[in-house]
Copies of this chain bind each other. A is one copy, B any other.
Amino acid sequence: MTSSTLKASPLRLSTASASFEADFKARLHWSADADAAIEQRVADILTDVQQRGDAAVLDYTRRFDGLQAASMTALELSQADFKEAFDSLPAVQREALQNAAARIRSYHEAQKKASGESWSYRDADGTLLGQKVTPLDRVGIYVPGGKAAYPSSLLMNAIPAHVAGVGEIIMVVPTPAKGSVATGGAGGDASAQGERNVLVLAAAYVAGVTRAFTIGGAQAVAALAYGTATVPAVDKITGPGNAYVAAAKRRVFGTVGIDMIAGPSEILVLADGSTRPDWIAMDLFSQAEHDELAQSILLCPDADYIERVQQEIDRLLPTMPRAEIIAASLNGRGALIHTRSMEEACAISNRIAPEHLEVSSSEPHRWEPLLKHAGAIFLGAYTSESLGDYCAGPNHVLPTSSTARFSSPLGVYDFQKRSSLIEVSHAGAQVLGPIAVTLAEGEGLQAHAEAARMRLGGV
């Protein structure tokens, strides 16, 4: 299809329509059906890496990425590699990475101060109660290889870990050879070094990655979770990946922590009609260009305005390099929804619990308190999602697929854990003891009761 005949026509819905509920649910529906074949292959890879370590990782890296490395050492990147990549960039890119990193760091430092510090108090009996907040020792960050390698994602994963105080950040990033299975080939044209993304390596320099390996897929997740002779075992694995990586992360959860299993990316725009419609069209595009399954939805009480946004979509689409992906996404999963009011639009937004929520209104603070569930809320016409994605400061790793109902953006708290602190004084033991004895006996746990009873009486 030529770009001149490409059309992007998001589904038009109206909350006043009798079929709205059914149409709305059908458009929202998305399910990541588990693929039994992928599940089995991933299970086998995990077991193999757990048993054979480096040798298994090397085998899979040969087979899938076409890298003929003699040892894991050949697959390790050095700090010099990172610096060389950074130095090779034009000044404008170096500065953009550094400025973005500085803003992300500053935001996450504020986050740590607001919600990530240890605390304690003593009650009237002198009993100390609190929580000690400490960083994880070592985390692994998965960075997808090839075209979907996003340096910004590396900053968004590594910087909160740094701010939390994580001691070691281990990056894995596949660098498949041209013609390898990973790049859609049959395995020919193989060498020891695959295609490295210079921006990702430069971002590793800016973010401060401790060690990095050019491995990917389930074998990289396994190496990080179980450790091998070369790859150190980590405490938590974060970062996006394909279906194999997602399945592997789900399976190693418990042995290590994981961040989340992300679904397709989504934007929901609440518009009162005061923003230039071409800005809204482009914001919908900026989500749709990620991939065909991405979802862009506009909610607006002004039918004429929705029409103008559609006109801007028609006008701007041919100018976009990724027009085909945008059209596929908007036609397959997009929606322009006419609501009775902004209040109703807010209520529908809460049902969706979107990953990105733009409140493109002249009075965003009027609507913000009505919005209960969203990964990130972008207030006002100047706050395009893309500014938030790259450099405003907040994290762009956000809960997708309605999981904002119960989960949060990636943050410093994902790289910290808490230990309760309890110090019962002699006086406190006299007050608490009888309560514990009664409850423990009610549960039939006599040793619990006796341990409390022993602490009763004189010093």
Chain A residues at the B interface, C-beta cutoff of 8 Å: 32, 92-93, 96-97, 99-100, 103, 106-107, 110-111, 114-117, 119, 121, 123, 127-134, 136-137, 147, 150-152, 199, 235-236, 254, 256-257, 261, 276, 278-279, 282-283, 285-286, 288-290, 320-322, 326, 357, 364, 368, 371-395, 398-399, 401, 403-409, 411, 413, 417-426, 428-429, 432-436, 438-440, 442-452, 454-455
Known: A137-B372, A357-B419, A386-B452. 12 other contacts (CB 8 A): A96-B439, A97-B439, A134-B373, A151-B442, A257-B407, A285-B451, A377-B422, A381-B455, A382-B426, A383-B429, A390-B436, A391-B435
Is the Cβ of B119 less than 8 Å from the Cβ of A390?
no
CB distance from A240 to the nearest CB of B (A): 13
Is the Cβ of B448 less than 8 Å from the Cβ of A376?
no
Is the Cβ of A279 less than 8 Å from the Cβ of B405?
no
A459→B420 CA distance, assembly (Å): 51
Give 8 pairs: A residue, B residue, CB < 8 Å, sorted on A.
Answer: A93-B439, A106-B123, A110-B119, A256-B406, A282-B447, A385-B451, A394-B422, A409-B420
> Residue A445 contacts which of B92, B130, B289 (CB distance < 8 angstroms)?
B289
Q: Of residues A136, A375, A395, A439, which shows the largest number of chain B Cβ atoms within 10 Å of its Cβ?
A: A439
A326→B447 CA distance, assembly (Å): 9
Is the Cβ of B100 less than 8 Å from the Cβ of A114?
no
> Residue A100 contacts which of B290, B381, B435 (CB distance < 8 angstroms)?
B435
Nearest residue in B to A384 (C-beta to C-beta)? B451
Nearest residue in B to A414 (C-beta to C-beta)? B406
Is the Cβ of B129 less than 8 Å from the Cβ of A119?
no
B-chain residues with CB within 8 Å of residue A390 when the two chains form the complex: 432, 435-436, 439-440, 448, 452
CB distance from A31 to the nearest CB of B (A): 9
> Residue A289 contacts which of B321, B439, B448 (CB distance < 8 angstroms)?
B448
Is the Cβ of A419 less than 8 Å from the Cβ of B374?
yes
> Residue A421 contacts which of B151, B377, B446 (CB distance < 8 angstroms)?
B377
Nearest residue in B to A388 (C-beta to C-beta)? B422
- With A382-B426, A382-B428 as given contacts, are A377 and B408 in contact (CB-CB < 8 Å)? no
Q: Of residues A115, A123, A147, A434, which shows the largest number of chain B Cβ atoms within 10 Å of its Cβ?
A: A115
Is the Cβ of A439 less than 8 Å from the Cβ of B377?
no
Q: Of residues A322, A376, A386, A418, which shows the largest number of chain B Cβ atoms within 10 Å of its Cβ?
A: A386
A423→B128 CA distance, assembly (Å): 40
A129→B405 CA distance, assembly (Å): 21
Is the Cβ of B92 less than 8 Å from the Cβ of A438?
yes
A309→B440 CA distance, assembly (Å): 23
B-chain residues with CB within 8 Å of residue A424 when the two chains form the complex: 378, 380, 382-384, 387-388, 392
Is the Cβ of B438 less than 8 Å from the Cβ of A96?
yes
> Residue A286 contacts which of B389, B445, B455 (CB distance < 8 angstroms)?
B445
